[in-house]
Amino acid sequence: MRHWRVAAMALAWGSAQPANACVSDPQLDYVCGPEKPEDLLALPGTEWLIASGFAPGAGLKIVHVPTRRFERWYAGTPDQIAWDRRAFAGCPGPVDPALFNARGLSLRETGPGRWRLLVVNHGGRESIEVFDIEARSGRPRLRWRGCLVMPEGQVGNSVASFADGTILVTVLTRPGTTIADFVEGRVTGGVWQHDPRDEGFRLLPGTELPGNNGLETDPDGRHFYVVAFGWHAVLVFDRRDTRIPAARIEVPDFMPDNIHWSGTRLLLAGMRLDEPACGGLRRIVDGVADPMLCHRGWVVGELDRSTRRVATVAYGPPQPGFNGLSAATIASGELWLGSFQSNRLAIVRGGTLTSGRSSVFLAALAP
C-alpha cells in the first residue's frame, strides 16, 4: 500500500511539527501533535486546513496540506487582536490562548480571500469566539474580533451561520441532563440562535433533541441541519418555523458527529455504531454512558439533499493509532479526519475507500 512522503520544504515556523513524527496505521497516515482536533475545515481555494483543539490551551491549529505541517495559530499577540467593541459589546475581552479550548468551527466567506471564522470555546468562558481570516496570498492571517458569551449554564458544541449574520449554536446537554440520557433517546439539547439585531441568544422551539451535536446551514439561506447524536440521525429545520422538523434522515451504521460542507459535498463523520471489537452498541452502566475509549471503526458519509439519504464515502475498522472520529474534510484531493480523542489528524489512503463508491470518490477528489 502506498505511503505518502513529505515534501522537502522547510517552513520557518517556530512551533511547526514534522509530518513523519508518528507511524502510520494500515489505513491511515497521521500528522501527530494537534491536541484533540475535534473539528476540521479546509480553507477554500488555499493549501491550508484549520483544526480546533478540544483541550485547555489547545486552541486553533493551521495545517499546510502539501507538507503536512502544522502550528498553533492563535497566540493572542497584538497583531492578532482587532476587537470590534461595537459589534461585540458584551464580550469581556480577547480569549486567553493559554485557556483557549476550541471545539466546533464554522467558516463563511466575507470577500475575496477573506473569511469569518466562528469557534466554540470552553476555555475561561463558554462562548463563540469570532475571528477574521485574510488568505489572499501566502500563509493566512488571523485576527480576533470579539466574542458572544453563551447563556448561563449552556455549553456550546457546534456553530454555524447564515449570510445575514444570524448565528446558530448547538448544545449537547442542557443543565440537568446527561450523556446517558441522550444515548437512551431522551431529549437533552437544543439549538440557540443569535440574531445580529439582538443582544443575546434564544432557544429555537422544536430543536430540542437527544444530543444536539453537528450543525450546518444550507446555501438556500433557509434550512439548517442538526445531528441528533442519540438518534444517529440528521434533522432538517426550516428557520422560518422550527417547531416541527422538515425532515429526519436516519444514519443507520454510524454515529455522526460533525456535519460540514466540503466544496459541494455535505460530509458527516463519526464512529461505527455497532462495533464488535467494543462489544457492540454503546452501553449504559450504572447510569453512566460508556466513554467509547475502546477503538471503534470510522465512517465518513455524504448527505444527499435530493434523496435525503446518507451514502458511505469511506470507512475502516478500528485503527491502533486513531479513535474518536468527529470530523472530515477534503483538501487537495485527500480526505482528512479529525478526532475528539486522539492527539493527531488522520489522512485516508485511497485504497481504503469503499468499493462501491471508490472510483467516483477518487475522481471527485482528483486535482
Give the separation between CA 165 and CA 195, rounded to whole angstroms: 7
What is the pTM assigned to this prediction?
0.91
d(CA 91, CA 127): 9
Give 350's DSSP letter: G
**Sheet of 254-262, strands arranged across:** 254-262, 265-272, 298-304, 309-316
Is residue 323 exposed (0-12), middle (13-18) or buried (19+ Cβ within 10 Å)? buried
pLDDT tens per residue, the chain (367 residues)?
232 222 222 333 434 444 445 899 989 999 999 999 999 999 999 999 999 999 999 999 999 999 999 999 999 999 999 999 999 999 999 999 999 999 999 999 999 999 999 999 999 999 999 999 999 888 999 999 999 999 999 999 999 999 999 999 999 999 999 999 999 999 999 999 999 988 899 999 999 999 999 999 999 999 999 999 999 999 999 999 999 999 999 998 999 999 999 999 999 999 999 999 999 999 999 999 999 999 999 999 999 999 999 999 999 999 999 999 999 999 999 999 999 999 999 999 874 444 344 333 433 454 3
CA distances from 203 to 151, 157, 189 (A): 10, 14, 10
Rg (CA), the chain: 19
Task: For the chain, give every domain's residue range.
Answer: 37-149
How far the first Cα of the chain sits from its last, in Å, is 21
